[in-house]
Structure 1
Amino acid sequence: MGVPFEALLPYGIIIGLFGVTGVGLSTLKYYSNGRKNPRRGIDAWDQQSKLQHWLANLLLMERDLRLTGQRRGQTSNHAAPPGFAYSNPWKVCSDALRYPIDPAKYYQKR
């Protein structure tokens, strides 16, 4: 005895929506990544230390963002643009690093 196709329609709809969701998420990741595929196949240098890898990746992606406007963007110019030296957050916040706020004075009642 066969199974009526009406019983299989909900399963087909569910599988179809899983497919649509997967395509939508991969498209979103593709466009948010600067129209580049996600990074795969990390080599041994990247796997040395997860914290070291995360920090290096963050700093390099921040540098790429300041140079090109995209986190995954790269440029072939041998010299940085004129405003690059002043967009460094460490140089902008150098006074805050030199003169840290004393928490006891900051949180006292006024």
Structure 2
Amino acid sequence: MGIPFEALIPYGVMLGMFAVSGAALSKIRHMQNGDKRPRYSVDAWDKQMMDRDRRLTGFLRGQTDSVKAPPGFELSNPWRVEPTFT
């Protein structure tokens, strides 16, 4: 006595949709990350360097080999300075 394959079609469709949505989310995450693999266990130093790279290149994971900073980089300091008391 065999199993009617018509009963297994919905499970195949659901499994296929899970596979397609997982692949699509993985690709979107890859594209949002500058076409690089995702980073795990990012500590404070890595976050600081990634923010610096974002300010230099406009991308979180972008890097540049240019010796000179782009115009306007001197004004994009992320540190906030206290106002001086007089």
TM range (shorter): 0.7 to 0.9
Match of 2:16 in 1: 16
Alignment deviations for residues 35-84 of structure 1 (CA, whole Å, 9 cap, x no partner):
112237xxxxxxxxx7xx52111101100000000000000101212311
- SS of the aligned residue for 1:6 comes to helix
Q: 1:76 aligns with which of 65, 68, 83?
A: 65
1:30 Cα deviation after fit: 0.7
| TM-score between both structures, scaled by the size of structure 1 | 0.68
Q: State the percentage of identical aligned residues.
A: 49
Match of 1:2 in 2: 2
Unaligned runs of 5+ in 1: 41-49, 100-110
Q: How many residues align?
A: 84
- SS of the aligned residue for 1:70 comes to coil
Question: Which residue identity does 2:29 align to in structure 1?
Answer: K
Alpha carbon RMSD of aligned pairs, Å? 1.8
Aligned pairs (5 A) from 1:33-44: 33-39=33-39
Point out the structure with the larger helix share. Answer: 1
Question: Which residue identity does 2:49 align to in structure 1?
Answer: L
Match of 1:108 in 2: none
Unaligned runs of 5+ in 2: none
Question: Which residue identity does 1:67 align to in structure 2?
Answer: L
Mapped pair 1:65 → 2:75? no
Residues in 1 aligned to 2:17 and 2:6: alpha-carbon distance in whole angstroms: 18
Match of 1:26 in 2: 26
